[in-house]
Amino acid sequence: MANPHRAEAIAGTLLALPAFILMWLMLLGPAVAVGLLSLTDWNFGEPRIGFAGLENYQELWDDRVFWISLRNTVIYVGVSVPATVLLGLLAAIAIEGAGRGRGFYRAAYFLPVASTLLAMALVWEFMFHPSVGFVNQVFRGLGLPTADWLQNPDTALFALAAIGVWQNLGLAMVLFMAGLKAIPPDLYEALAMDGADGAWERFRRVTWPMLGPALVFVVAITAIRSFQVFDTVQVLTEGGPSKSTEVLLFTMVQQGFTFLRSAYGAAITMVFLVLTLAITLAQTTILDRRAHYG
Amino acid sequence: MVKRVLTHVALLTGAAVMLAPFILMLSISLKPPGEVFSPHFALLPTQWYAVENYTAAFTKVPLLRFLLNGLFVTLCIFAAQALTALPMAYALAKLRWRGREAAFSMVVLALLIPPQVPAIPLYIGLWQLGLLNTYAAIILPSTISVFGIFLMRQFFRTVPDDLIAAARMDGLSEWAIVWRIMLPTAAPAIAAFACLSFIWNWNEFFWPLIAVQEEHLMTPPLGIAFFSNAEAGTSFGPLMAAATVVTAPLALAFLLAQRAFIEGVTMTGVK
C-alpha cells in the first residue's frame, strides 16, 4: 500500500497541472514575453530580430500620439470613475431606502452591465445623432446647448465617458449594495438614540465611514475597467476626430496589429500594464493603512 | 412621505435614462427608414416595419451564423475553463502537495494582469501555429480562467473535510471527488462562474477583432460591428434589429437569473 501522503501529493500535482500549464501558456508566459518583446526591434513577419534596449520606450517618450493617447486615457478615467462611483453610490442608497420597486430599479440599473456593449454603442451613436438623437432633443427641450457630440473634438471623449458611466454604474451599484448590507443595523439605532436621525447624519456618521473598504474597492475596479476602454472607441470614433479619443488600448492595437509594429505595441502594452498594476497597488496600500490605523 | 416620493421620482428618472437605449433600440428596429429620422420621436411606428428589418438583419449579414458562432465559442470556453479550473481549485483548497503555495501565488498574480496584455505574443504564437482565423484562435486564449480557479478555491475551502474523507473511504479517486462531491456542493459558485464566463465571452470584442477576419467565424459583437461598417450608418432599422437580436440572449438570461448574475459579480467585482 502506497504512502497516503505521497498519493495525496501526486494527486494534487496532477489535478493542478492542466490549469497550471494553460495559465503559463495563455497568460503569464505571454505577459513575460510582452516585456521581452518590448526590448527588441521586431516587426511582425520579419525574419530577424535584434535587441534594442530601451529604444522603444525612448521612441514612446518622443511620440506625440502616445502622449495624446495617455492624456486622453487619463482624462477618460478621471471623468468616468468619479461619476460612476458617485452615481452608483447614490443609486445604491436610494434603492436600499426605496421600499417598493427595489427589484425593478436594481434590474434597470444593472441591465447595461449584462448587455453587449458593442451593440449598445451603436444605439448610443444614434442617441448622440446631432439632429434626431435623444440627447440633443432632451437638451434642446431643457434649453441646454447641443452639439454633434461624437464628431466634435471638444466633446467626443466626454460622450464616450458618458457611455462608460452608463455601462458601469450598475456594477458599482451592486457592489455598494453588498457593502451597505454589511453595515450592522445597530449602528443606525445607536445614532437614533443619540437623537441624530436625519438622512444626512446617518450617511455622514455611519454609512460613509463604514463603507470605506467597499469604496476603495469600487474605485479600483471602476478605474481598472475604465483604463480598458476600447470597444466604443473602435466602433464609434476610431480615435478621432483629430485624435481626441485616441486611448491607450486603441493606440496599442493600431501599432501592434494594424501597423504590425509588434515590439512598439509591446512597449505600449507594458505602459498599460504598469498603470493597471499601480491602481491595484494603491488600492491594497490604502486598505492596509486603514486596517492598521482605521 | 414627501421624501419617499422624491426618492422614487429620482430613481424613476435614473431608470428612464438607463433603459432609454434599450427602448430606443427596440423602437427603431420596428420602424421604416422614413420614420427613423423623423424630427419628433414616437415610441411606436405608424407603419410597422419589424418583419422587413429583422429579415434584413438576418439576410444582409449571416446573423444566425454569428449567433451560433457565439454560442459555440462561449460553450467551448466555459467547458475548458471548468474542466481545468475545478481540479486545480480542489487541489489548492483541499490537498497537500509541494508547490501549492507558489502555485496559488501565481494564480493571484495572474488575476492582476488585464486580459489585453498577452494579446501580441498570443497573436504571434497562433500565427506560427497557423491557427489565426480559426475558431481555435478565438477560443484558446480564454480556455484558462484564473478568476474561476480563485472563486472555486475560496468556495471549496468551506466544504467540510469529513465529506471528502468519507468519499475516500468509499473508494472514490481524487478525480471523482472533484466531480461527484465538490461539484454538486458548489452549485451556487459554479452558477456565478458560468454567468460571468458567458457574459464576458459573449460580449468580448477586443480579442476576436484581432484573431479573426473572416465573416463566417465572427462572434456576435464582431459581426454587428462588421454590419455597422458595411452599412455605414444608412440602414438603422436593420442594424438596430441585429443589435436587439445580439443583446437579447444575455438580457433575457439576466432577467431570468438576476440573483446568480448579481451574486456572481458581487463575489468578485471582476467582469
pLDDT for B270 beyond 70: no
Write the CATH number for B104: 1.10.3720.10
For the CA atoms of A77, A78, A81, A83, the dihedral, rounded to the nearest 10 degrees, stands at -130
The pLDDT of residue A288: 80
Separation of CA B155 from chain center: 21
The residue of chain B nearest to residue A91, with distances taken between CA atoms, is B11
Task: Judge whether B121 is closer than 8 Å to chain A, CB to CB.
Answer: yes
How many contacts (CB atoms, under 8 Å) link A and B? 283
Task: Judge whether A107 is closer than 8 Å to chain B, CB to CB.
Answer: yes
- Out of B11, B116, B120, the one facing A94 most closely (by C-beta) is B11
- Indicate whether B159 and B34 sit together in one domain: no
Helix (H, G, I), strand (E, B) or coil at A27: helix
- Indicate whether B119 and B67 sit together in one domain: yes
- Indicate whether B164 and B237 sit together in one domain: yes
Q: Which of A16-20, A210-214, B60-64 has the lowest mean pLDDT?
A: A210-214
The pLDDT of residue A223: 93
- Indicate whether B44 and B102 sit together in one domain: no
Residue A104 and residue B15 in contact, taking contact as beta carbons nearer than 8 Å = yes
- Out of B100, B114, B269, the one facing A221 most closely (by C-beta) is B269
The pLDDT of residue B2: 80
Domain boundary at B9, B28, B48, which?
A: B48
What is the tens place of the pLDDT at every residue in A95-148?
A: 988 778 888 999 999 999 888 999 999 999 989 988 888 888 888 888 888 888
- Indicate whether B26 and B60 sit together in one domain: no
What is the tens place of the pLDDT at every residue in A173-219?
A: 998 988 888 888 888 888 888 877 677 888 888 888 888 888 888 99
DSSP of B241-266, one letter per residue?
Answer: HHHHHHHHHHHHHHHHSHHHHHHHHH
Separation of CA B256 from chain center: 16
pLDDT cut 90: percent of chain B above it = 61
Which of A97-101, A157-161, B156-160 tops mean pLDDT? A157-161
- Indicate whether B27 and B121 sit together in one domain: no
Task: Judge whether A11 is closer than 8 Å to chain B, CB to CB.
Answer: yes
The residue of chain A nearest to residue B24, with distances taken between CA atoms, is A123
The pLDDT of residue B233: 60
The H or E element containing residue B152 is: helix B146-156
Predicted structure pTM score = 0.90
Task: Judge whether A109 is closer than 8 Å to chain B, CB to CB.
Answer: yes
Residue A207 and residue A180 in contact, taking contact as beta carbons nearer than 8 Å = yes
Pairwise CB contact (< 8 Å): A116 & B38: no
Pairwise CB contact (< 8 Å): B87 & A15: yes
The residue of chain A nearest to residue B83, with distances taken between CA atoms, is A19
What is the tens place of the pLDDT at every residue in B115-138?
A: 999 999 999 999 999 999 999 999
Pairwise CB contact (< 8 Å): A110 & B262: yes
pLDDT for A2 beyond 70: no
- Indicate whether B67 and B137 sit together in one domain: yes
- Indicate whether B123 and B235 sit together in one domain: yes
* Exposure of A245 in the CB half-sphere (CA atoms within 13 A): 26
CA distance B267 to B192: 8
**Choosing among A118, A202, A279, which should be mutated to test the B contact, i.e. which has the most B CBs within 10 A?**
A118
Task: Judge whether A101 is closer than 8 Å to chain B, CB to CB.
Answer: yes
Q: What is the mean pLDDT of residues A156-166?
A: 96
Chain B residues inside the 8 Å CB shell of A219: none
CA Rg value for chain A:
24
List, in order of start, the domains of chain A with CATH numbers: 57-293 (1.10.3720.10)
Q: Which residues constitute the domain of residue B141?
A: 55-268
Higher model confidence: residue A49 or residue A246?
A246
Q: How big is the CA angle at B186 (ends B152 and B270), to the nearest 5 degrees?
A: 40
- Out of B20, B95, B149, the one facing A8 most closely (by C-beta) is B95
- Indicate whether B38 and B145 sit together in one domain: no
Residue B232: pLDDT band with limits 50, 70, 90: low
pLDDT for A273 beyond 50: yes
What is the tens place of the pLDDT at every residue in B91-123?
A: 999 999 999 999 999 999 999 999 999 999 999
Domain boundary at B33, B48, B63, which?
A: B48
Question: Chain A: nearest CA to B15, how far in angstroms?
Answer: 6
Residue type at B128 in one-letter notation: Q
CA distance B173 to A25: 28
- Indicate whether B15 and B93 sit together in one domain: no
Pairwise CB contact (< 8 Å): B15 & A8: no
Q: What is the mean pLDDT of residues B166-170?
A: 91
- Please state the domain count of chain B: 2
CA distance B241 to A161: 25
- Indicate whether B158 and B219 sit together in one domain: yes
Query: Mean pLDDT in chain A?
Result: 89
Q: What is the mean pLDDT of residues A223-245?
A: 92
Residue B236: pLDDT band with limits 50, 70, 90: confident
Residue A67: pLDDT band with limits 50, 70, 90: very high
- Indicate whether B63 and B82 sit together in one domain: yes
Interfacial B residues in 202-241 facing A (CB < 8 Å): 202-203, 205-206, 209-210, 220-221, 224-225, 228, 233, 236, 239-240
The pLDDT of residue B48: 85
The pLDDT of residue A8: 87
| Region label for B31, one of left (φ > 0), alpha (ψ between -120 and 50) or beta (otherwise) | beta
Which of A20-24, A202-206, B183-187 tops mean pLDDT? A20-24
**Choosing among A115, A225, A233, A273, which should be mutated to test the B contact, i.e. which has the most B CBs within 10 A?**
A115
Q: Which of A214, A217, A196, A218 is nearest to A205 (CA)?
A: A196
> Looking at the DSSP assignment, which residues form a beta bridge with residue A51?
A40
